[in-house]
């Protein structure tokens, strides 16, 4: 007999095994994103990284992403001005 992961079974898995990454459909993009984030955070905790290091690394990643987005915005803005 095989079983299907119904919403009822799914929610039971979440309640019973909070450490499982089962709150998204398995192998969906959301599931992979959460898995990668969990693995990265687990690595920090396994290495006994100080909370301030984790915080600073997260802020560095966000800052880098923000700077790239702003540079792209500025480039598009410049192009729009030149087309006016």
Number of domains the chain is built from? 2
42 and 1 assigned to the same domain: yes
- In this prediction, residue 12 has a pLDDT band, given cuts at 50, 70 and 90, of low
2 and 42 assigned to the same domain: yes
Using CA atoms, how far apart are residues 48 and 46, in angstroms rounded to an integer? 5
Per residue in 32-81, pLDDT (tens digit) is: 998 999 999 999 999 999 999 999 999 999 999 999 999 999 999 999 99
In eight-state DSSP terms, residue 48 is T
* Residue 21, domain extent: 1-49
Using CA atoms, how far apart are residues 40 and 33, in angstroms rounded to an integer? 11
43 and 4 assigned to the same domain: yes
Given a contact cutoff of 8 angstroms between Cβ atoms, the answer to whether 65 and 59 are in contact is: no
Residue 57 has what pLDDT? Answer: 97
Using CA atoms, how far apart are residues 66 and 72, in angstroms rounded to an integer? 10
């Amino acid at each position: 007999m095989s079983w299907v992961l119904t919403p009822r079974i799914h929610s039971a898995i979440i309640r019973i095994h909070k450490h499982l990454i089962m709150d998204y459909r398995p192998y969906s993009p959301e599931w992979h994103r959460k898995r990668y984030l969990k693995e990265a955070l687990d690595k920090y905790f396994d290495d006994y990284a100080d909370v301030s290091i984790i915080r600073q690394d997260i802020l560095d990643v966000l800052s880098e992403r923000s700077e790239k987005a702003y540079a792209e915005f500025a480039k598009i803005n410049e192009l729009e001005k030149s087309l006016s």
